[in-house]
Amino acid sequence: MLLIRGGRVVDPSARRDEVGHLVLSEGKVKEFLAGEAPKNFPGRVIPAEGRWVTPGLIDMHVHLREPGYEWKEDILSGTRAAAAGGFTSVACMANTKPVNDHPEVTRFILDKARREGFANVFPVAAVTRGLEGKEMTDFTELAEAGAVAFSDDGKPVASALLMRRALEYVRPFGYLIMTHSEDPELAEGGAANEGWTARKLGIPGIPAAAEEIAIAREILLARQTDGRVHIQHVSTKMGVDLLRMAKRAGLGVTGETAPQYFTLTDAALEGYDTNAKMNPPLRGEEDRMAILEGILDGTIDAVACDHAPHEDYVKRCEFTTAANGIIGLQTSLPLTLALTAGGKVSPVRIVDLLSAAPARLLSLTGKGTLVAGSDADVTVIDPATEWEFRPEEVLSKSRNSPFLGWKLRGRAVVTICGGKIRHSCVPGVEADA
């Protein structure tokens, strides 16, 4: 039994934002108690006065690199970084080696995560075999093995016909297809957002239209098939506008963005910092503002960090040849908490973006909520503490982050997964072995 005492309990699923106490028992949430804290509680007590108590955070877009690229990250190190960042669940993309296009790979990831994970791992399986964009995977077989969604992330599904067939196929089963929306020909050879910064630095550009054309295509195919599609890492203004239009038209389209797209612009590339190189690339200020607007008005459903670990070797090189992507699990929460400045985004909305919405989108029952009977996945957040993201703090095997050295505000002080304390920096509250 665990008592989380005196925190500000923020639970969008129950429309709750009030001070109280949360009791966990046998891996489940037992109850919320208002008023005086229970005396002589027969179990461990976590003091949470002045802190937020939220459903365990869920990141629906990470790369854990296992199997196949364990020198970049593995399930153990990736979920340890997740727990330290406040995440109790992550959905991992299929671009491993072998690709997660076969139930054996899905089961391998799940077994490994069950044995050594610091957080729940939900595999996302590939849409096409080998991510080659040619032949559909066996969605039913993969879902039965435990895949929660399908995406070729890292690569787009270039064929509109194949995407149409995939959307039609999954519709009766209710499986979710998520898309890395990019027109491969328009993006080819590019390494930064096409615009002033790229021109000045002499880096070949990726036009915003490469992403927007693909987003428009997914929306039109969702309409054509009466299907459901989720747009990954939306990064441009027109991308947000298209998503907004699709939602107004009542189409089954949702979208996520990543903290880097509302925190940074391509100005971060000055000095050829390859830790600011990613795909989609960091965009301009107008795009960044549009992403913020999309979060404010609900167009963007979720924040997911696209945690993409890479060793120094593939980042410490010439900009155009450097690998794409950044780690994000330990900085996603503070960067998203920054949205509360000025009172524009409420704590309830923050928790929706980082927990309740991903649970809804991936149909994770018992997650993203603190109602009685749900899983005892809880994050205790100190929203005010200031800290520096130093290299020594990094729990990933890779350190490719443009936020190293940043002063951040807010962090997860206790992360509880299935009733077990997986991370704690509260004195006197030891993590479980």
From 74, 152, 153, 377, residue interacting with Zn ion (rule: CB under 5 A): 153
Measured CA to CA, the distance from residue 233 to residue 165 in angstroms comes to 23
Q: Is 306 a catalytic residue?
A: yes
Q: Give min distance, CB of 267 to Zn ion, in A.
A: 22
Q: What is the DSSP letter of 26?
A: T
Q: Report the residue number, 51 or 233, with the smaller CB distance to Zn ion.
A: 233
Q: Give min distance, CB of 139 to Zn ion, in A.
A: 20
**In this structure, which amino acid lies at residue 411?**
R
Closest chain position to Zn ion (CB):
180
Measured CA to CA, the distance from residue 110 to residue 100 in angstroms comes to 11
Per-residue interface string for the shown chain with Zn ion, residues 39-58, x marking contact by CB under 5 A:
--------------------
The strand pairing partners of 203, in sequence order, are none
Is residue 119 within 8 Å of 89, Cβ to Cβ? yes
Q: Report the residue number, 153 or 375, with the smaller CB distance to Zn ion.
A: 153
Is residue 146 within 8 Å of 106, Cβ to Cβ? yes
Q: Which stretch binds Zn ion (CB under 5 A): 47-55, 172-180, 286-294, 352-360?
A: 172-180
Measured CA to CA, the distance from residue 412 to residue 334 in angstroms comes to 9
Q: Give min distance, CB of 306 to Zn ion, in A.
A: 6
Q: Give min distance, CB of 100 to Zn ion, in A.
A: 15
Please state, as a whole number, how many other Cβ atoms lie within 10 Å of the Cβ of residue 405. 10
- How many residues bind Zn ion (CB under 5 A)? The answer is 2
Q: Report the residue number, 54 or 137, with the smaller CB distance to Zn ion.
A: 137
Choosing from 11, 287, 306, 377, the catalytic residue is 306
Strands (E), 26-103: 28-33, 44-47, 52-55, 57-62, 87-92
Is residue 284 within 8 Å of 261, Cβ to Cβ? no
Q: Which stretch binds Zn ion (CB under 5 A): 153-161, 165-173, 250-258, 311-319?
A: 153-161
Q: Which residue, among 94, 90, 19, 84, has the nearest Cα to 60 in the 3D structure?
A: 90
61 binds Zn ion (CB under 5 A): no
The dihedrals phi and psi of 229, each to the nearest 5 degrees, come to -140, 145
Q: Give min distance, CB of 151 to Zn ion, in A.
A: 8
Counting Cβ atoms within 10 Å, is residue 388 exposed (0-12), middle (13-18) or buried (19+)?
A: exposed
Angle at 226 between CA 127 and CA 367, to 5 degrees: 65
Q: Report the residue number, 309 or 419, with the smaller CB distance to Zn ion.
A: 309
180 binds Zn ion (CB under 5 A): yes
Residue 46's alpha-carbon distances to 23, 304, 351, 380, in angstroms, are 10, 28, 20, 9
Q: Give min distance, CB of 298 to Zn ion, in A.
A: 23
Q: Give min distance, CB of 38 to Zn ion, in A.
A: 46
Q: Which stretch binds Zn ion (CB under 5 A): 29-37, 62-70, 139-147, 150-158?
A: 150-158
Measured CA to CA, the distance from residue 13 to residue 374 in angstroms comes to 11
Q: Which stretch binds Zn ion (CB under 5 A): 43-51, 104-112, 179-187, 213-221?
A: 179-187
The strand pairing partners of 179, in sequence order, are 231
Q: Report the residue number, 276 or 350, with the smaller CB distance to Zn ion.
A: 276
Q: Report the residue number, 56 or 325, with the smaller CB distance to Zn ion.
A: 325
Q: Give min distance, CB of 271 to Zn ion, in A.
A: 25
Q: Give min distance, CB of 325 to Zn ion, in A.
A: 8
Burial 255-274 (b: 16+ CB within 10 A, else e): bbbbbbbbbbbbebbeeeeb
- Residue where the block lists tokens 């509880």: 416
Is residue 267 within 8 Å of 177, Cβ to Cβ? no
73 binds Zn ion (CB under 5 A): no
Q: Report the residue number, 180 or 228, with the smaller CB distance to Zn ion.
A: 180
Q: Report the residue number, 180 or 420, with the smaller CB distance to Zn ion.
A: 180
Site for Zn ion in 10-29 (CB under 5 A): none
Q: Which stretch binds Zn ion (CB under 5 A): 20-28, 151-159, 297-305, 322-330?
A: 151-159
Measured CA to CA, the distance from residue 45 to residue 37 in angstroms comes to 10
Q: Which stretch binds Zn ion (CB under 5 A): 149-157, 239-247, 267-275, 282-290?
A: 149-157
Q: Report the residue number, 279 or 369, with the smaller CB distance to Zn ion.
A: 279
**Could you tell me which residues come within 8 angstroms of residue 392 by beta carbon, excluding any fewer than 6 positions away?**
none
Please state, as a whole number, how many other Cβ atoms lie within 10 Å of the Cβ of residue 122. 23
Which residues are known catalytic residues?
306
Q: Site residues (CB under 5 A) for Zn ion?
A: 153, 180
